[in-house]
A and B are shown apart, each in its own frame.
Chain A
Amino acid sequence: MTIQAGIPATPPRKRLTRKQRRLVVIASAGVVLGLAAGLVAYALRDSIVFFYGPTEVVEKGLAPGTRLRLGGLVETGSVERGANQRVNFAVTDGKTRTMVSYTGLLPDLFREGQGVVTEGVLEGPGRFRADSVLAKHDETYMPREVADALKKQGHWQPGETKPGAPAAPVTK
């Protein structure tokens, strides 16, 4: 270590100078922080999921196999229940619709005409396989992304379910 160059020859094992001790602390902090930064950078590249509305999926020309969150309204009359918990429904933003297939229990507040956020994989143009359908805890609540996606397509009707309706409860 170059730091030791000017220091009188005390064996470093016996007593570290203040400077050296500080260096040890800073170096070990640097190692841990570097490790963390690396992990974060790696994870941010690989494990984040983008949110799109049905129209954006088409506009962006996303390739099949892309993992994403798809949000919009569950189109009225589109819900079909099949065997083995298979459910098909259409998610729409008023302009474009995407068919979603999902296998599993739907959350309590999943209803036709209501906002929904699903996460899964794009299978092809207009087809999406969801592996999770996100539950909301309040029937008047519209996921913010869904509200924005609807607004973008000009299909926002204030007075129906508002995003951030102030009367709804907050907890935690």
Chain B
Amino acid sequence: MFVEIGHFALALALGVAVVQTVVPLWGVARNDPALASVGPAAAIASFLLVALSFGCLVMSYATSDFSVENVAANSHSTQPLIYKLTATWGNHEGSMLLWVLILVLFGALVALSRRSLPPKLRAGTLAAQGSVSVAFLAFTLLTSNPFRRLVPAPGEGQDLNPILQDLGLAIHPPLLYVGYVGFSITYAFAVAALIEGKIDAVWARAVRPWTLLAWTFLTLGIAMGSYWAYYELGWGGWWFWDPVENASLMPWLAGTALIHSTVVMEKRDALKVWTILLAILTFSLSLLGTFIVRSGVLTSVHSFASDPQRGLFILGILIAFIGGSLALFAWRAPLLKQGGLFAPVSRESALVVNNLFLATACATVFIGTLYPLVLEMVTGDKISVGPPFFNATFVPLLVPLLLLLPIGQTLAWKRGDLLGAAQRAQVAFGVGVVTSLVIFAFVRGGPVLAPLGIGLGVFLVVGAFWEVGERVVGRASGASAMLSRAKGLPRSAWGTALGHAGVGISVIGIAAVAWGTESIGMLKVGESLTSGRYTATLEAVTPRTGPNYREDAARFRIVADGRELKPVEAMKRIYTARAMPTTEAGIRTVGLGQAYISLGEPDASGAIAVKLHDKPLILLIWIGALVMAAGGALSLTDRRFRLAAPRRTAAPAAMPQAAE
């Protein structure tokens, strides 16, 4: 019963989305405010319908209704309830429904937002957003219907892929989708601006919170996915330059460029055309990511099987939305009034440099990801482009960007003073250099890049807070004055500092990876293995039975630098329904580093293969991402996003320029 209601609600949502797309535009064209105002109601209605539909699917998973094909293929009655629920989006059809749910949620949020958007812009945005909903609702209903019944119904399901039975993966897709799909709103705003042929600081101010929101979630989603891959897949790596990972990195890079270019547009009324293009490209890259992951055109270490039919459908969507919006851009962008001028040495120029490097870095990832596909089509040769390519292209482009970041951050708007900015950055730079030297002195030998990278990270962290620090300390006049000045600073200033510091923290964690060590050995009970600071001794191997798996748990005593830590367990599991083996790594966190143990096969003599990693400071990689996301979230709470945006003014010159 739930299933039919869900299916029906989904079909109804498609109809409503068509209304949301067509009627507001028609209303704007005919100058009929009544028709133009249908958008918000339709957006909210389609959200409620899809939410109902999603709820129905969750219900059929919760009740293990194996007469539904999707449930039968991805669930099992012995699965713990939490994984029954998360199995809803642990498969193609269900995750597509989640994608659509988040898409219409954003539409509804725009409809409900109390910010006074100019009516034409709101109508256009909701219509553009509606068109995306139409495409993906149709895709779900026609090629990936999660509500298909199975006759006769099997008595038992086929279980969720065991490696997805994990809390990290349960929350990873929703976070990632909020990020991916959130950029649909900036896309919709860009399309609306092009249709209207008008774009100004009001537009930038309206778009910025949405971009920040999407970016914050995308950051969290990517970090979560990386951490999941690290602990669940048992290889101990945190980034593999895999097409599926690149698929999420590209929109993140473009989105990072976008949150910076909208600042220029909001404050200086410049970079308009570029910002519009970037908004279109960011969502296009999200769509491309969806295509890469779901069509199976690219071989990825963690690509799952998929259906070429679906790939064609998504390719159609891709061409329609990317091609359509770029054609619209080519046609309408010349009508947009050119933005203001700015001096070569200024905050806005620094942000242009930021955009230049981020966009170029994004382009290299794009080439590395799609080159194998193009080459195979042209010559038939199959190649793989792996980490060496990205280390040789992406990293050299990112390093200058990071070196310039603390300098750019202290430049003033309009007319900056390069010498002054460099002077302000020199303390941070000095701290970074000293850190590198101290590490060089203490860690003799070893990789050279680690101390340099850590120095860069420290430079970024200190540099990130320098501007805020200067504004707080200023002409120092007592602690209370400083405290009130700190409170008086806009939250976005703190958010910027935090976001940039997060980058530095991640850089430190990434640099320290070079110090990691690993060793492999065949261990019998009582034998030990040493890697870096850690020595692991196999104490016992115990067979156990879980709710839907059997496992051999190996318990290890861990000693770090002569100090005994809590013992750690690593497991080799067999999930009974699929007879699929998985490895559960044993991880002991010490400060910011980890001892990481994964198991291999036992040999004839009864010894088990054990791999022990020493991973110093590894947690900083993800902590940095969390700090970046916290910076994004803090900026979102800034006063100027909460207050109603100013009315459009005739002359851009009258825009409030320095909100700081």
User: Residues on A close to B: CB < 8 A?
Assistant: 16, 18, 21, 24-25, 28-29, 32-33, 35-36, 39-40, 42-44, 46-52, 69, 81, 83-85, 104-106, 108-109, 119, 134-141, 143-145, 148, 162-172
Q: Which residues of A contact B500 (CB under 8 A)?
A: none
State how many residues of chain B have any CB contact under 8 Å with chain A: 79
Binds A, one of B299-307, B405-413, B458-466: B299-307
B572 to chain A, nearest CB (A): 8
Q: Which residues of B contact A47 (CB under 8 A)?
A: 385-386, 388-389, 392
Tell me which of B235, B389, B397 contacts A135 (CB under 8 A): B235
How long is the Cα–Cα vector from A33 to B361 in the complex, in angstroms? 10
Known A-B contacts A138-B305, A139-B580, A165-B305; A172 and B385 likewise in contact (beta carbons under 8 Å): no
Q: Which residues of B contact A143 (CB under 8 A)?
A: 299
How long is the Cα–Cα vector from A47 to B344 in the complex, in angstroms? 37
Are B304 and A108 in contact, with the CB atoms below 8 A?
no
Are A105 and B611 in contact, with the CB atoms below 8 A?
yes
Known A-B contacts A47-B386, A49-B384, A171-B90; A139 and B578 likewise in contact (beta carbons under 8 Å): yes
How long is the Cα–Cα vector from A39 to B90 in the complex, in angstroms? 38
Counting chain A CB atoms within 10 Å of each CB, the highest count among B344, B364, B393 belongs to B393
| CB 8 Å contact bits of B295-331 with A (1 = contact, 0 = none) | 0100101111111100000000000000000000000
B333 to chain A, nearest CB (A): 16
How long is the Cα–Cα vector from A41 to B160 in the complex, in angstroms? 43
Q: Which residues of A contact B360 (CB under 8 A)?
A: 32-33, 36
Are A40 and B381 in contact, with the CB atoms below 8 A?
no
Are A28 and B353 in contact, with the CB atoms below 8 A?
yes
A19 to chain B, nearest CB (A): 11
Are A109 and B397 in contact, with the CB atoms below 8 A?
no
Tell me which of B294, B383, B583, B611 contacts A48 (CB under 8 A): B383
Are B397 and A50 in contact, with the CB atoms below 8 A?
no
Are B356 and A104 in contact, with the CB atoms below 8 A?
no
Tell me which of B307, B341, B352, B520 contacts A18 (CB under 8 A): B341
A73 to chain B, nearest CB (A): 16
Tell me which of A16, A39, A104, A137 contacts B397 (CB under 8 A): A39
B567 at the A/B interface (Cβ < 8 Å)?
A: no
Q: What residue of chain A has the Cβ atom nearest to residue B353's Cβ?
A: A28
Report 12 cross-chain contacts, Cβ distance below 8 Å, ordered by A residue: A84-B520, A85-B520, A85-B522, A105-B234, A105-B601, A166-B305, A168-B161, A168-B306, A169-B90, A170-B293, A170-B305, A171-B304
Are A169 and B383 in contact, with the CB atoms below 8 A?
no
Nearest first, the 7 A-B pairs at minimum CB distance are A47-B388, A168-B305, A105-B600, A51-B382, A170-B92, A43-B392, A169-B91
Q: What residue of chain B has the Cβ atom nearest to residue A148's Cβ?
A: B382
Q: What residue of chain A has the Cβ atom nearest to residue B392's Cβ?
A: A43
B623 to chain A, nearest CB (A): 22
B634 to chain A, nearest CB (A): 28
Q: Which residues of B contact A83 (CB under 8 A)?
A: 522
How long is the Cα–Cα vector from A15 to B176 in the complex, in angstroms? 46
Counting chain B CB atoms within 10 Å of each CB, the highest count among A46, A49, A83 belongs to A49
Q: Which residues of A contact B600 (CB under 8 A)?
A: 85, 105-106
Known A-B contacts A46-B388, A105-B609; A170 and B294 likewise in contact (beta carbons under 8 Å): yes
B603 at the A/B interface (Cβ < 8 Å)?
A: yes
Are A164 and B305 in contact, with the CB atoms below 8 A?
yes
B348 to chain A, nearest CB (A): 11
Are A166 and B306 in contact, with the CB atoms below 8 A?
yes
Q: Which residues of A contact B352 (CB under 8 A)?
A: 25
B421 at the A/B interface (Cβ < 8 Å)?
A: no
Q: Which residues of A contact B583 (CB under 8 A)?
A: 108
Are B393 and A137 in contact, with the CB atoms below 8 A?
no
How long is the Cα–Cα vector from A49 to B383 in the complex, in angstroms? 5
Are A43 and B388 in contact, with the CB atoms below 8 A?
yes
B377 to chain A, nearest CB (A): 13
Tell me which of A135, A140, A169 contacts B164 (CB under 8 A): A169
Are A169 and B304 in contact, with the CB atoms below 8 A?
yes
How long is the Cα–Cα vector from A161 to B535 in the complex, in angstroms? 42
Counting chain B CB atoms within 10 Å of each CB, the highest count among A83, A134, A135, A137 belongs to A137
Are B306 and A104 in contact, with the CB atoms below 8 A?
no
Tell me which of B303, B308, B381 contacts A50 (CB under 8 A): B381
B200 to chain A, nearest CB (A): 20
Q: What residue of chain B has the Cβ atom nearest to residue A146's Cβ?
A: B299
B587 at the A/B interface (Cβ < 8 Å)?
A: no
**Additional A-B contacts beyond A163-B305, A171-B161, A171-B169 (19; CB < 8 A):** A40-B368, A43-B368, A51-B383, A85-B521, A105-B599, A136-B302, A137-B301, A139-B578, A141-B305, A144-B296, A145-B382, A164-B296, A167-B73, A167-B158, A169-B90, A169-B164, A169-B304, A170-B95, A170-B293
